[in-house]
Amino acid sequence: MTILVAYVPRPEGRAALDKGIEIAKRRQERLLVVNAGPGGSQEDTSLAPGYEVEQIEAMLEAQGVQAEFKQFVRGRDAVEEINELVDTMDISVLVIGLRKRTAVGKLILGSVAQELLMTVSCPVLCVKAPSA
C-alpha cells in the first residue's frame, strides 16, 4: 500500500510531509508526495519551486523510506489530481495539511482540504502546522 501526501509549499504542507514520512517509516509503506496545480500564465503559489522540489527529494532519500515526489502541472486542480491517484492506486491514507481560516474565509474562498475530505474514497489524516 501507499501513503499519499498532498504537498503545498507552506507550513501546513511541510507538516503533512513530516507526518507522511513518520507513518511510512512506522508502517513500512511506500510514500508518494504530490504537489499539483493547474499552472498557466499566472504564478501558482500552490506549486513548489524547483529548489524546494530538490530539497524534498533529498530529504526523502535521506529518510530511508521508499518515496517518490511528483509534481503535476497539466491544467487540472489539485483535487482532481489527488482523486485520480486515490482511484487508481492502492492508497492506505491521504495526509493533508490544514491552516487556520476564518469562518468568512471558509465560506467565500472554499477549501482544497475540505473538498478532498468530501470527495476522496480513502481515509484522510489532517494535520496542522506547528504554531509560530
Tens digits of per-residue pLDDT, 11-26?
999 999 999 999 999 9
Give CA–CA dist 128/123, Å, rounded.
17
Burial (CB count <10 Å: 0-12, 13-18, 19+), residue 57? middle
CATH topology of domain 2-128: Rossmann fold (3.40.50)
- Provide mean pLDDT across the span 50-61: 96
Residues in the chain: 132
Whether residue 108 has pLDDT greater than 60? no
Which pLDDT does position 41 carry in this prediction?
A: 60
d(CA 35, CA 81) in angstroms, rounded, equals 9
pTM listed for this prediction: 0.91
pLDDT above 80: residue 109: no
The per-residue pLDDT for 131 is 78
Q: Return the percentage of the chain with pLDDT > 90, whole number.
A: 73
- CA dist 3 and 1 (Å) reads 7
Q: What is the mean pLDDT of residues 74-97?
A: 95
